[in-house]
């Protein structure tokens, strides 16, 4: 596998919402999206298996999103990995690694235009030491403490690429 190749993609329908403060499913012109509030930190969680062709170079997480109504301001995200692995995570508890911040980006000038922002997450502790072939969860949250756009942020997809 070459650096920059896509490892996995998650769509809004793949979300496994937590019990509280979860992003809500919505549609925009037939596109299924997850709505993240502007004032309450809401969460989406996705489960995957790290492909066996992952080479250990780190993972760049790309969030494909649009602003529901805003045409000014910024929207940011944070992402965190949780290794499920072989005997490494009790499914009755959460064990996410430290969240990595996706720098807030300026909202496109037209509501509904998709922007793609990303953060490179280094291999090892930052991806919770997930090994190839192991199950993991990825948590994404809107960074409401540091972004300035009003209204919902609509997440369309999340892509994981090898760094």
Q: What is the pLDDT of residue 88?
A: 82
Residue 1 domain-assigned? no
146 in any annotated domain:
yes
pLDDT at 1 over 60: no
93 assigned to some structural domain:
yes
Q: Given this model, what pLDDT does residue 3 score? A: 66
**How many domains does the chain fold into?**
1
Residue 68 CA, distance from chain mean position: 18
CATH number at residue 78: 2.60.120.260
Inter-residue contact 71 to 115 (CB < 8 Å)? no
Domain that includes residue 25, residue range? 6-162
Q: Is residue 153 part of a domain?
A: yes
Residue 99 placed within a domain: yes
| pLDDT per position as a tens digit, 45-88 | 999 999 999 999 999 999 999 999 999 999 999 999 999 988 88
pLDDT at 20 over 60: yes
Which pLDDT score is estimated for 151? 96
Residue 105 domain flag: yes
For the entire predicted model, the pTM comes to 0.95
What pLDDT is attached to residue 2?
A: 59
Q: What is the reported pLDDT for 13?
A: 98
Pairing of the two strands 135-142 and 74-83: antiparallel
Over residues 78-136, the pLDDT tens digits come to: 999 999 988 888 898 899 999 999 999 999 999 999 999 999 999 999 999 999 999 99
Q: Would 85 be classed as within a structural domain?
A: yes
Residue 11 pLDDT > 70: yes
pLDDT of residue 99: 97
What does the CA dihedral 141, 147, 148, 150 come to, rounded to 10 degrees? Answer: -10
148 Ramachandran zone, left/alpha/beta (phi>0; psi -120 to 50): alpha
């Amino acid at each position: 596998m070459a650096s920059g190749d896509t490892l996995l993609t998650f769509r809004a329908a793949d979300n496994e919402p937590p019990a509280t403060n979860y992003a809500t499913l919505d549609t925009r012109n037939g596109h299924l999206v997850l709505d993240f509030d502007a004032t309450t930190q809401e969460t989406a969680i996705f489960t995957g298996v790290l492909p066996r062709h992952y080479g250990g170079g780190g993972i760049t997480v790309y969030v494909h999103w649009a602003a529901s109504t805003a045409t000014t301001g910024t929207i940011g995200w944070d992402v965190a990995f949780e290794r499920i692995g072989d005997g490494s995570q009790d499914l009755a508890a959460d064990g996410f690694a430290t969240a990595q911040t996706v720098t807030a980006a300026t909202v496109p000038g037209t509501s509904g235009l998709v922007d793609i922002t990303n953060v490179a997450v280094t291999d090892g502790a930052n991806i919770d030491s997930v090994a190839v072939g192991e199950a993991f969860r990825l948590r994404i949250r809107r960074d409401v403490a540091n972004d300035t756009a009003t209204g919902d942020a609509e997440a369309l997809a999340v892509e994981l690429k090898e760094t």
